Amino acid sequence: MKTNKVQNHCHKQQKKNPMALSMKPFIVLSVAVNVMLFMKQFSWSNEQMDENAKGVHLKEEKMRVSSSAVIDDGKTPIVLDHGDPTMYEEYWHLVGEKTTVVIHGQQGISYFSDASKVCWFLEPQFERAVIRLHKVVGNAITEGYHIVVGTGSSQLYQAALYALSPSDLLEPIEVVSEAPFYSSYPLITDFLKSGLHRWAGDASKYDKDGPYIEIVTSPNNPDGSTRQPMVNRSGGMLIYDLAYYWPQYTPITYPANHDIMLFTISKCTGHAGSRIGWALVKDEAIARKITKYMEISTIGVSKDSQTRAAKVLDVISDSHVHKGNFDGISPFFDHSYDHMAWRWQQLREAVNKGKLFSLPVFPSATCTFSGRTFGPLSAFAWLKCESEVENCAEFLKQHNICVRDGSFLGSSSKFVRISMLDKTEKFELFIQRLSIMNTAIA
Amino acid sequence: MKTNKVQNHCHKQQKKNPMALSMKPFIVLSVAVNVMLFMKQFSWSNEQMDENAKGVHLKEEKMRVSSSAVIDDGKTPIVLDHGDPTMYEEYWHLVGEKTTVVIHGQQGISYFSDASKVCWFLEPQFERAVIRLHKVVGNAITEGYHIVVGTGSSQLYQAALYALSPSDLLEPIEVVSEAPFYSSYPLITDFLKSGLHRWAGDASKYDKDGPYIEIVTSPNNPDGSTRQPMVNRSGGMLIYDLAYYWPQYTPITYPANHDIMLFTISKCTGHAGSRIGWALVKDEAIARKITKYMEISTIGVSKDSQTRAAKVLDVISDSHVHKGNFDGISPFFDHSYDHMAWRWQQLREAVNKGKLFSLPVFPSATCTFSGRTFGPLSAFAWLKCESEVENCAEFLKQHNICVRDGSFLGSSSKFVRISMLDKTEKFELFIQRLSIMNTAIA
């Protein structure tokens, strides 16, 4: 989240650029192509739908196509630097009252939820909702695991480092992850100059002996690839960051059963503002240390947000379990998968229009949850600037597109990370601008 | 919050103790005295009340007296180790629907509240409610201050240390506070073995040169005393922890206007489960660094809890601003002051029954908010075991009363810290047991 700095920079950058001035002739064509592509992609077979369902589906489609009419002036700053999942607002608006929560003044006063539990601030209804959703999706084993709730998965990442770092080492334990990696890992690991742990960079280049901690992010942030541990040496401890292991982003291929697994509602349901994540932890002693970190750093986790997260997760489970009886609204992961597939098709079309950019391609697999066969629909695009462009972020910034420089993610400035989860209107502006840049320069 | 360990220990400690067996004859007398004391304390002058108000006041009184009928068997564990403010549940139950919040599924999706603000995750309605309440109470200046919201004031304490710690020192900066001090300060300061800061203990014994950070907790946790900076040397930086600077605990004597001031709803309104605190920060650069800490550690603060906290703070302001028009319910700080005054009278009566214990006495002052003149009604009792008892916590534990050992608060084991904010039923059990111990042993 190097958000503010970059964003402010972008907001200030309202100066004219020559490229923007030459874009107008392409705009009408671009909009027309856009609408045509959409019509092709979403030629639903509506015969079996009842009238109500038809109405809702039309509303769902309309949400995606309505903003295609936006005309890009080339100047509006498009900030896609951080993974703010505002794309999901549309779905929750559509679902309406089902996801509303009511909290009374006398609720949630105490620090405690259940003092007898390892995680004493874990709300029972949130725990039940997490277990239920993992069972519905089949993306993680929960039996035999302790659940620890966190203020987002960032806090759980720090808590897991705290829990795994031996306190008797002379030097801090080294923490690695295969590049390209989430740019916050080094920052979070080192910002307090902890004597417990220190960032040691790319796991694929790590060749030291002795204990280490490896973060396995799968699907990976930024590129969406499926990851395995890289170092595989004795003395290694693993933290699995599974924030994106949900069926709108990647095929679910097995129920994950690692020692420590981190999840977050921010990327699962889109409710980033609630700051709720959870860890599934096999070993009780480790779960207690993770809980201890939460106790010392924030004396637990917001009960209001846990209450709300429980409701949202339950509504998602309901939308799949009671498929035919959900007011005609598509089940959550079906809707989200459709939307991500549509966004990725848009992006690949724009990239394929010229030779300026490229995107990685990863193999397809069959999803045990949906039965669909597809390749990663990553929450971020890991875009490479081809030709002579050495600093891709700087190049895009000249076109008022703000994204994250690949050098912050353990890679080079030839790459950038672009959020695929922002609002549809902003996403479409971005696609228009990228298409025009690509066509004009080619 | 060394809660779980102590609590579990207490819950296990169900073995019989000889003292408990000898208590029965005192119980009937104790209950009778208790009810009489209460009747004397709350002989309200009801003449001017309308019928509705009378009904509500009777309900308020009943809440306090109803549990006096509880008979102590001497065995039930009484855990008053942590400052869980469940006392406040009663008031919020009484207020009812006024404090209810409704949050819709599509609300609060984004990480951002207002990207143009220093604290970009601060909800505007929460900011307004904080400013309004400080104006109503007159306990802090907000004009010219930046407000940064935190996951409770514990997180803000860490953020303030991060913001004040120079990054160019060879050694970590030393952090001090006058003893007795909040037991979590040393723990929070040192648990990550940070290279930025380290705990250096009692400010009254600090005699080193060079930069340092002093925490001024006023009223103080545990003893409720009014505090001033202790070290007063050049190179010193101050953090004011004003968690208890509210008119139910202490006379408000001036609007605080220090460089960094920390507050929390846990101790102001009782909503500890929401994990919301706020810092008032004079210097913009420091406010930005505090915000940066929040960004790195938890990517902001729960919007759901901010929404709820805004509502609760506004209802408190309303209860005072629209005094006569609040359904006959006492305004929040009047109700809470009455309750704290009653609890402290109960405690002092129990302590004065024998020579086993003593309590500190601090001077009275006139409260600019209420006009009342009174001494501290601390959220914790700082109890001393007189006579030969060297370990007061251990002694009370033999009677199934779990409290915090004074040695954890920079003092000696002759002292203990006892929460005064737990539920009325538990508080009364505690008073009964303490009275009987004191009478029996004397």
Cβ distance of A297 and B102 shorter than 8 Å = no
A329 compared with B59, residue with greater pLDDT: A329
Q: What gap in Å lies between CA A140 and CA A308, rounded to an integer?
A: 22
What is the tally of helices (H) and strands (E) in chain A?
14, 16
What is the C-alpha end-to-end distance of chain B, expressed in Å? 33
Residues B248 and A351: their CA atoms lie apart, in Å, by 64
Residue A191 has pLDDT above 80, yes or no: yes
**Distance to chain B for A176, nearest Cα, Å:** 18
Cβ contact A229:A216 at 8 Å:
yes
B97–A302 C-beta distance less than 8 A: no
A295 chain-B contacts, CB cut-off 8 A: 1, 3-4
Kindly report the nearest CA distance between residue B404 and chain A, in angstroms. 16
Say yes or no for a CB contact (<8 Å) between A298 and B97: no
Q: Which of A299, A319, A339 represents a domain boundary (last residue)?
A: A319
Does residue A117 lie within any of the structural domains? Answer: no
pLDDT at residue A411 tops 90: yes
The pLDDT value recorded for residue A440 is 83
pLDDT at residue B47 tops 80: no
- How high is the pLDDT of residue B336? 98
**Residue A73 scores a pLDDT above 90:** no
Residue with tokens 């703000």: A402
Q: Mean pLDDT, chain A, as a whole number? A: 88
Q: Which of B96, B112, B299 sits opposite A152 (nearest CB)?
A: B299
Establish if B162 belongs to a structural domain: yes
- State the DSSP string of A237-299: EEEEE-TT-STTTS---S-B--SEEEEEHHHHTS-GGG--EEEEES-HHHHHHHHHHHHHHHS
Among A88, A102, A192, whose Cβ lies nearest the Cβ of B194?
Answer: A192
Closest Cα in chain A to B423: A110
pLDDT at A45 over 60: no
Tens digit of each residue's pLDDT (9 = 90 or more) over A312-361: 999 999 999 998 888 889 999 999 999 999 999 999 999 999 999 999 99
- Answer whether residue A103 is part of any domain: no
Residue A45 is assigned to a structural domain of this protein: yes
8 Å CB contact between A408 and A111: no
Q: Per-residue pLDDT for B64 more than 50?
A: yes
Residue A140 has pLDDT above 80, yes or no: yes
- Point out the residue among A100, A271, A273 whose CB comes nearest to the CB of B102: A100
Above 50 in pLDDT, residue B251?
Answer: yes
Predicted confidence (pLDDT) per residue in B164-215, tens digit:
999 888 999 999 999 999 999 999 999 999 999 999 999 999 999 999 999 9
The secondary structure of B320-369 as a DSSP string is HHTGGGSTTPPPHHHHHHHHHHHHHHHHHHHHHTSSSEE------EE-TT
Residue of A431, A432, A438 whose CA lies nearest to A29: A432
Q: Is the pLDDT of residue A50 over 80?
A: no
- The H-or-E segment that residue A351 falls in is helix A332-352
Measured CA to CA, the distance from residue B369 to residue B436 in angstroms comes to: 38
**Whose structure tokens read 């960004």?**
B295
Chain A residues close to B102, C-beta within 8 Å: 100-102
Residues of B in contact with A162 (CB under 8 A): 191-192
From A289, A319, A349, the end of a domain falls on A319
B101 inside domain: no
Residue A108 within a domain: no
The nearest alpha carbon in chain A to B267 belongs to A109
Q: pLDDT grade, residue B324 (50/70/90)?
A: confident
Query: In residues, how long is chain A?
Result: 442
Calpha distance A1→B356 (Å, rounded): 56
User: In percent, how much of chain B has pLDDT > 90?
Assistant: 80
Average pLDDT over residues B82-86: 96
If 0-12 CB within 10 Å is exposed, 13-18 middle and 19+ buried, where does residue B16 land? Answer: exposed
Last residue of a domain, one of A319, A354, A387: A319
Same structural domain for residues A272 and A409?
no
Do residue B300 and residue A102 have CB atoms under 8 angstroms apart?
no
Residues of A in contact with B312 (CB under 8 A): 105
Give the CA count within 13 Å in the CB-facing half-sphere of A392: 25
Domain that holds residue B226: 124-319
Enter the ipTM.
Answer: 0.88
For residue B90, the chain A residue with the least C-alpha distance is: A106
> Residue B167 has what pLDDT?
86
Write down the pLDDT at residue B441: 66
Task: Judge if the upstream peptide bond of residue B211 is cis by omega within 30 degrees of 0.
Answer: no
Identity of the residue in B105, B191, B300 whose CB atom sits nearest the CB atom of A100: B105
The answer to whether the Cα torsion of B210, B216, B222, B227 is positive or negative is: positive
Mind telling me how many Å the CA of B233 is from chain A's nearest CA? 26
Q: Determine the pLDDT at residue A128.
A: 98
Least confident piece of the model among A26-35, B250-259, B287-296, B312-321: A26-35
For an interface test with A, give the residue of B101, B120, B299 to mutate (most A CBs within 10 A): B299
Interchain pair A109, B195: CB under 8 A: no
SS3 A140: strand
Chain B residue numbers with beta carbons less than 8 Å from the beta carbon of A284 are none
Q: How far, in Å, CA of A279 to CA of A266, rounded?
A: 14
Residues A205 and A344 in one domain: no
Q: Report how far residue B141's alpha carbon sits from residue B281's, in angstroms, rounded to the nearest whole number.
A: 10
List the single residue in A106, A151, A315 with the smallest CB-CB distance to B93. A106
Whole-number pLDDT of residue A384: 98
User: In whole angstroms, how far apart are CA A93 and each of A67, A88, A314?
Assistant: 16, 9, 16
Asked if B354 contacts B385 with a C-beta cutoff of 8 angstroms, the reply is: no
Residue among A87, A126, A57 nearest A331 (CA):
A57
Q: Is A215 helix (H, G, I), strand (E, B) or coil?
A: strand
Question: Which among B415, B421, B413, B417 has a CA at the least distance from the CA of B377?
Answer: B421
For residues B86 and B149, state if they share a domain: no
Q: A268 to chain B, minimum CA–CA distance in Å?
A: 12
For residues B349 and B424, state if they share a domain: yes
Return the CATH number at A274: 3.40.640.10
**One domain, residues A67 and A12:** yes
Judged against a pLDDT cut of 70, whether residue A39 lies above it is answered with no
Assigned domain for B171 exists: yes
- Classify B159 in phi/psi space as left (phi over 0), alpha (psi -120 to 50) or beta: alpha
Tens-digit pLDDT profile for residues A199-224: 999 999 999 999 999 999 999 999 99
User: What is the overall mean pLDDT for chain B?
Assistant: 88
Q: How far is A130 from chain B (nearest CA, A)?
A: 17
| Separation between Cα atoms, residue A274 and residue B34, nearest integer Å | 45
A47 lies in the same domain as A134: no
| A340 and A311 housed in the same domain | no
- Same domain? For B84 and B230 the reply is no
Please name the member of A192, A271, A275 whose beta carbon is closest to the beta carbon of B301.
A275
Both A209 and A277 in one domain: the answer is yes
Out of A30-44, A159-173, A335-349, A394-408, pick the least confident.
A30-44
Instruction: Find the CATH number of the domain harbouring B364.
Output: 3.90.1150.10
Q: What is the pLDDT of residue B59?
A: 56
Is the Cβ pair A296, B82 closer than 8 Å? Answer: no
What is the predicted pLDDT for the residue at A381? Answer: 98
Nearest by CB: A106 against B89, B162, B295: B89
Minimal CA–CA distance to A14: which of A66, A76, A79, A82?
A: A76
Residue with the bigger pLDDT between A23 and B398: it is B398
pLDDT at A68: 52
| Residues A266-285 pLDDT 10s | 999 999 999 999 999 999 99
Whether residue A280 sits in one domain with residue A153: yes
Report whether pLDDT(A91) > 70: yes
Sheet of B357-358: strands edge to edge?
A: B357-358, B380-385, B415-419, B404-405
Residues in chain B: 442
Contact B275/A295, CB-based, under 8 Å? no
Which pLDDT band, with edges at 50, 70 and 90, does B232 fall under?
A: very high
Q: What is the pLDDT of residues A93-102, one digit of tens each?
A: 999 999 999 9
Please check whether residues B290 and B335 belong to one and the same domain. no
Q: What does the pLDDT read at residue A116?
A: 93
CA dist., res. B266 & res. B153, Å (int) = 9
- How would residue B66 be classed by pLDDT, with cut points 50, 70 and 90? very low
In the prediction, which pLDDT does A55 show?
54
**Claim to verify: residue B233 and residue B378 sit in the same structural domain:** no
Q: Give the helix, strand, coil percentages of chain B, each rounded to 5.
A: 45, 15, 40
Nearest CB to A103 within list B93, B100, B293? B100
Rounded to whole angstroms, how far apart are CA atoms B75 and A5? 59
Overall domain count for chain A: 2
- A-chain residues near B287 (CB < 8 A): none
pLDDT, residue A17, reads 33
Confidence bin at A60 (pLDDT 50/70/90): low
pLDDT of residue A169: 86
Coil, helix or strand at residue A198: strand
Min Cα–Cα distance to chain B from A94, Å: 9
SS3 A300: coil
Given pLDDT bands bounded at 50, 70 and 90, which one contains residue B72? Answer: confident
Q: Supply the pLDDT for residue A53.
A: 52
Between A224 and B63, whose confidence is greater?
A224
The per-residue b/e assignment along A152-181, b for 16 or more CB within 10 angstroms, e otherwise, is bbbbbbbbbbbbbbeeeeeebbbbbbbbbb
Taking only the tens place, the pLDDT of each residue in A379-408 is 999 999 998 999 999 999 999 999 999 999
Q: Cα(A391)–Cα(A122) distance, rounded to whole angstroms? A: 45
Confidence of residue B69 (pLDDT cuts 50, 70, 90): low
pLDDT at position A242, please? 98
Provide the token pair at B70.
């509880």
Q: What confidence score (pLDDT) does residue A143 get?
A: 98
Does residue A347 lie within any of the structural domains? yes
What was the pLDDT predicted at A441? 66
Cβ distance B98 to A105 less than 8 Å, yes or no, reads yes
User: Hey, are the CB atoms on A273 and B111 less than 8 Å from each other?
Assistant: yes
Determine whether the interchain pair A274/B192 forms a contact, defined as Cβ–Cβ distance below 8 Å: no
Q: Give dist(CA B147, CA B149) in Å, integer.
A: 7
- Cβ within 8 Å, pair B196-A196: no
Residue B263 DSSP one-character state: E
For residues A300 and B43, the model is more confident at A300
For an interface test with B, give the residue of A12, A91, A119, A151 to mutate (most B CBs within 10 A): A151
Q: Report chain B residues whose CB lies below 8 A from the CB of A194.
A: 192-195
